Amino acid sequence: MEAALLVEALRSQFAGPFELTLGAGTCAAITGPSGSGKSLFLRMIADLDPNEGRVWLKGTERASVSAPDWRKQATYVSAESGWWADTVVDHFAASKRSEAAALAARLGLRADLLGAPVTQLSTGEKQRFSLVRAMLPDPPVLLLDEPTGPLDEESVARVELLLRERMTAGTSILLVTHDPNQAQRLGGQHYRMVAGRLEMP
């Protein structure tokens, strides 16, 4: 079977080298202490930080595609969501808004929040909207950095349900989490990041 995501000798000045193979529709969970390089690893795959090494997505090498096109395929969702317009709905293309509302509802987000100013949202609400934003174009690989960090139990369950559905449909997920139980529930492969190195537990 061809790997959805293949990482070879990926390293930067701060972390690596990393090797990773992620099959289509599977999830690899990474745990480890803060500052060990988990986020850096995801950011390097998304090509947001300077790095060396090779990454393939379904057989296409990263170096052969433009950076924006690559990030549309391997989409990074940071632990702290970023917003550039005033209201939530402004962050979605007009043609995608009904789809966004449906997805938001599945994550337990009230319909009126879509029209609210971003500053009025709680951290957890922003986090779920940033997931909606990333999942809307249905990228084949999701790089999720503590996607359920600030969420309550019910919301965590909703997010995990949605992620599992996407996996069944073929999406591959690289998940950074502080919650070992979540790593067990979602992850097919398990890694531990220690001082910039990926270890098998």
Q: Where on the chain is the footprint of another protein (CB under 8 A)?
A: 46-50, 66-69, 71-72, 75-78, 80-84, 130, 133-134, 137
Q: Residue 64 or 181: which CB sits closer to another protein? A: 64
Smallest separation, CB 80 to another protein (Å): 6
**In the complex, least distance from residue 91 CB atom to another protein, rounded to whole angstroms:** 9
Between 43 and 192, whose beta carbon lies closer to another protein?
Answer: 43
CB 108 within 8 A of CB 159: no
We find the least distance from the C-beta atom of residue 83 to another protein, in angstroms, to be: 6
Could you tell me the smallest distance in angstroms from the CB atom of residue 167 to another protein? Answer: 20
Could you tell me the strand order of the sheet in which 52-57 lies? 18-23, 3-11, 52-57, 60-61
| Spatial contact of 39 and 76, defined as CB atoms under 8 Å apart | no
In terms of Cα–Cα distance, which of 75, 137, 149 is closest to 100? 137
Q: Which is nearer to another protein, 100 or 192 (CB)?
A: 100
Q: Three-state SS for 192?
A: strand
Q: How buried is 26 (Cβ within 10 angstroms: 0-12 exposed, 13-18 middle, 19+ buried)?
A: buried
Nearest residue (CB) to another protein, 47 versus 109: 47
